[in-house]
Structure 1
Amino acid sequence: MSCPGFGELNIPSSRAFWDDCDEDELENLKPVEKLQLKFDGEPAGEVAPVESELLVVIEGVNVTHFATSLLAKDSKRLCGIPAKTSSLHWSPSSKQLLAILEEDLTSSGEITELLLPYAKLAKKVVTLTLKPKVEFKSEDIQLYRDHIAIVRGVGVDQKDITELEAPNFIAGVAAGVASWRDQEELPVSSFVIYTDKLPLDATAAQPVIKLLQSVGVQSCSPNYVPPRKENSYLYM
């Protein structure tokens, strides 16, 4: 007998239907692979986390080129993070860590666990989430129509940063790391930038650069050059 269909009532075993599945069906299920940081040339799990002055977690869609070219060019890539093209970088001179995370909410809990040893040793943690401006919710949304970006903070004591208002929220690894630091009563600052251009172009990158420089990211360049786009082959 195979598993009953979804939504089908089957008393007394209607809770999850596992009792009604054939044993051979369960045997054919493949075990879920445990996510690990992918260190270059090193065995997984055998590299001790570094102690940093500042850990920056930047998360969003299509953030890899921006973060690696603007923030990670003066640092060394420590490892790959198992979420698309995500990676962790270390700057020995400034003792700053940079976690670049392509948004992948399906595995954000596991990835947060992988980064917690680094978050635990960091003296200061800053998280930054990049989102499309269309996701920002406000009763006064018309006031922000011409803004390049909307910058908000979560528990941030800065006069020029407005607190993120409901129903807006942050999620993913940035939220997980920030929540853990807050529960442990360790210093953490969380920001979210709603921008009208993702991936970032030279203009849309300026509010992000300004924020990163203000929180002490030493390797942040003042200008960003986006990747060159291929010709579209469209004829006028």
Structure 2
Amino acid sequence: MSCPGFGEVNIPSSRAFWDDCEEDEFENVGQAEKLQLKFDGESGQNVAALQSEILVVVEGPSVTHFGSSVLLNGTKRICGIPPKTSSLHWNPTSKQLLAVLEDDLTSSGEVTELLLPYAKLAKKAVTITLKSKVDFKSEEIQKYSDDIAIVRGVGVNGTDTTELEAPNFIAGVAAGIASWRNQADLPVSSFVVYTDKLPLDSTAAQPVLKLLKAVGVSCSPSYVPARKESSYLYM
């Protein structure tokens, strides 16, 4: 099964796993809990009908502190997004919806479905995925050895961002939102930032901040990482 421009999903056809299981093994298996958005205060159904000028999805490992530090000024938290510390925020002045998502591929399909009501109503959508630089595949990889970050995109015509080339791909909720809007002929731009430092530090954050400003998202000019309680340095 393929989605033009966003990679490929491989679905195994083998029944070997199921054939090795006894029927009674499934008798005590409970139904998996359905993920739900955790609305704050008196939010709820009224929030789901919000029509934003732009929906911004920022997804990556340990991205919560970065999002709360540089993006959420002037925004109101709408709800928590399972299963980790992800959250959705609304800026009433700019009419921007901002989803800050901790990277978790095991639940990305369900989370994508939870965010689809917002994705359907947004006039524009931008996704930004943070990945480690070692995940970037290129025959000219040595060319980027001194770069702080490598920025690539899908559906970013008219910008100075290079198109994401195979075998690199976008995954997670960002891919789900982008694929759905692409299939629905709704405008969407997706970016991948391959950085040499995750979680982001003050230097590695600069290319991300520059990208956010380029796509029209208000953010702080700099980022100060959370202080670690221990350096894990032993004498």
TM (norm. structure 2) is 0.87
Q: Which amino acid aligns with 2:59?
A: E
Call closer, same or farther: CA 1:146–1:18 in 2, change over 3 Å: closer
Asked whether the 8 Å contact 1:36–1:81 carries over to 2, the reply is yes
Asked whether the 8 Å contact 2:152–2:162 carries over to 1, the reply is yes
Kindly report structure 1 stretches of 4+ aligned residues shifted beyond 2 Å: 13-20, 41-49, 229-236
Asked whether the 8 Å contact 2:149–2:196 carries over to 1, the reply is yes
Call closer, same or farther: CA 1:233–1:28 in 2, change over 3 Å: closer
Secondary structure at the counterpart of residue 65 of structure 1: helix
Pairwise CA distance, 1:43: 8.3
Pairwise CA distance, 1:47: 4.8
After superposition, what is the alpha-carbon deviation per residue over 1:90-128, rounded to whole angstroms, capped at 9, x for unaligned?
Answer: 011111010011011011111000000000111110000
Call closer, same or farther: CA 1:202–1:115 in 2, change over 3 Å: same
Counterpart CA distance in 1 for 2:80 and 2:156 is 30
Call closer, same or farther: CA 1:14–1:90 in 2, change over 3 Å: closer
Is 1:64 the counterpart of 2:71? The answer is: no
Call closer, same or farther: CA 1:14–1:61 in 2, change over 3 Å: closer
Call closer, same or farther: CA 1:144–1:31 in 2, change over 3 Å: same
Question: What does residue 155 of structure 1 align with?
Answer: 155
Asked whether the 8 Å contact 1:123–1:187 carries over to 2, the reply is yes
Question: What are structure 2's unaligned runs of at least 5 residues?
Answer: 1-14
Q: Which amino acid aligns with 1:16?
A: W
Secondary structure at the counterpart of residue 114 of structure 1: helix
Q: Which has the higher contact order (CA 8 A, sep 6+)?
A: 2
Aligned-residue CA RMSD (Å): 2.1
Total equivalences in the alignment: 221
Aligned partner of 1:21 among 8, 18, 23: 23
Secondary structure at the counterpart of residue 48 of structure 2: coil
Is 1:139 the counterpart of 2:139? The answer is: yes
Higher alpha-carbon Rg? 1
Pairwise CA distance, 1:61: 0.5
Pairwise CA distance, 1:40: 1.7
Question: What does residue 176 of structure 1 align with?
Answer: 176
Question: What does residue 225 of structure 1 align with?
Answer: 224
TM (norm. structure 1) is 0.87
